[in-house]
Amino acid sequence: MLLDLFLLSLVIAIIRFFLLAVFGDTIQESMDKHRTVLSSLWILVVPVLTGFWYRFQATPGKMLMDCSIVNRRTGDRPGLGQCMLRCAAYIASILPLFLGFAWIIWDKRKQGFHDRIANTLVVTNDESRKPLKVLIREIR
């Protein structure tokens, strides 16, 4: 999550400086003029997160860490509704002073509030658990 927030903040910073370069204002004038544009970028977080989870089973940060999100009951790819619920459940993890994320430290399955609500689990894609035939097929 922190890596994803860093990547998203980096993209927003690039857009801010692009707006500054195009319109040639001072940073403060540019921020005042384009505050609604920059604020609306955060609204895109919900569909982008949901889309990444549904399509790739991970956000870019989780992909870098070689993790993926699975349905806790089946171990399969989570459904679209489950991904949407997980995204909405981030509110439950954030509102009580980010306790839902801190909970991951104490939970034996390392699930945050959002994972428990959406019935998902973050797993590492450990190659040592794959059958040899699958590894050979991936190399070729």
What's the pLDDT tens digit per position in 36-83?
Answer: 666 676 777 888 889 999 999 999 889 988 899 999 998 899 999 999
Q: How confident is the model at residue 34 (pLDDT cuts 50, 70, 90)?
A: low
Cα 118 to Cα 94: distance, rounded to the nearest angstrom:
15
Per-residue model confidence (pLDDT) at position 71: 93
Give mean pLDDT, residues 124-128: 76
pLDDT of residue 94 exceeding 70: yes
Question: What local confidence, expressed as pLDDT, does residue 11 receive?
Answer: 78
Percent of the chain at pLDDT above 90? 38
67 vs 1, 14, 24, 31, 86, CA distance in Å? Answer: 12, 27, 42, 36, 16
**How confident is the model at residue 25, as a pLDDT?**
62
How does residue 4 score in pLDDT terms, banded at 50, 70 and 90?
A: confident
Backbone angles phi, psi at 73, to 5 degrees: -75, -45
Q: What percent of the chain has pLDDT over 70?
A: 79
pLDDT for res 140: 66
